[in-house]
Amino acid sequence: MNALLKKYRHNDHALGIFFIICSAFCFSLMSLFIKRAGSLPTFQKALFRNLVALLVATVLLLRAPGGFKPKKGSGFGLFMRALCGTLGLLCNFYAIDRLGLADANILNKMSPFFAMIVSAFIINEKPNRVEILCVILAFVGAVFVIKPHAGFSASFPAFVGLLGGLGAGTAYAFVRKLGLQGERGPVIVFAFSAFSVLLCLPFVCAHYVPMSGTQLMYLLLGGTAAAGGQLSVTAAYTHAPAMEISVFDYTQVLFATLWGLLFFGEIPDTWSLIGYVFIIGTAVFKWYYNLYLKKG
């Protein structure tokens, strides 16, 4: 019996890793499709990306027992998750259009480190000294990627990409708070998607740029890939705890580097590669610390 339970837990852990890598693959494809859509306004790209997620969340809630009704007291958390997530998404898309795919993705992957900081204020989860050191090292890596010595105009898109990581990290902290309050996942996704669509719609109406059939196809593919990423990451964390598998989410940077090389001829420079080592290395150490050293 014990052998069966051990085998089941091992398989569950393997499934968790598989799904988190699938999520990273999907989100890297989202970045690729958004960039391939060409020179369209950021709000227009965000609108079409979130229309797909809104459709998926709506279908899920129509079939769910509780419908669209959120938990009592979740209103502020849902609003803040939607606002921060939308601002983070807009910053991320802005960076994708102006940076190499790998740089844009690694800056967005600063979100777990931002989440550690803001969680101290949102849900009173105080980071310990090791976690504070990890945040500092990750920010050192971000500085290498941003390259402030290159001048304001050159480093500004990277700085906006870092702000995208801040928005995403703050949104994740509010997702955790909502989860602790018992709010359902589809409600959180629906609120975020609906808010994003409503926020982007006026800007798109005022500054709409006609799209070719190919551009529309890429935007819809980007939205589909993002929906696949959301479903995959949800499946991953139902099979294994975040502290055991979250480090594998950084494979997104590897996928993005491959797409950038194959489709745009992008090769990260030495400064960016040093930054990747700092950020991914710190994430790996934090994963190892949480999984093994902290317990000991």
Spatial separation of the C-alpha atoms in residues 171 and 107, rounded to whole Å: 16
Is residue 45 within 8 A of residue 211, CB to CB? The reply is no
Helix 75-98 / helix 101-108 crossing angle, nearest 10 deg: 160
pLDDT score recorded for residue 258: 94
Is residue 196 within 8 A of residue 70, CB to CB? The reply is no
Is residue 49 within 8 A of residue 226, CB to CB? The reply is yes
pLDDT score recorded for residue 188: 84
Phi (first) and psi of residue 120, to 5 degrees: -65, -30
Spatial separation of the C-alpha atoms in residues 262 and 207, rounded to whole Å: 32
Nearest alpha-carbon partner for 97 in 27, 22, 38: 38
Any idea what DSSP says for residue 151?
A: -
DSSP of 69-86, one letter per residue?
PPPTT-HHHHHHHHHHHH
Per-residue pLDDT of the chain (296 residues; tens, 9 = 90+): 445 445 445 577 788 889 889 989 999 999 999 999 998 999 999 998 888 888 888 888 888 787 888 888 888 999 999 999 999 999 999 999 999 999 999 999 898 888 888 888 888 878 888 888 988 999 999 999 998 877 777 789 999 999 999 998 898 888 888 877 888 878 888 888 899 999 999 999 999 999 999 999 999 999 899 888 877 887 786 677 666 777 888 999 999 999 999 999 999 999 999 999 999 999 889 888 877 766 55
Is residue 100 within 8 A of residue 271, CB to CB? The reply is no
Residue 3, amino acid: A
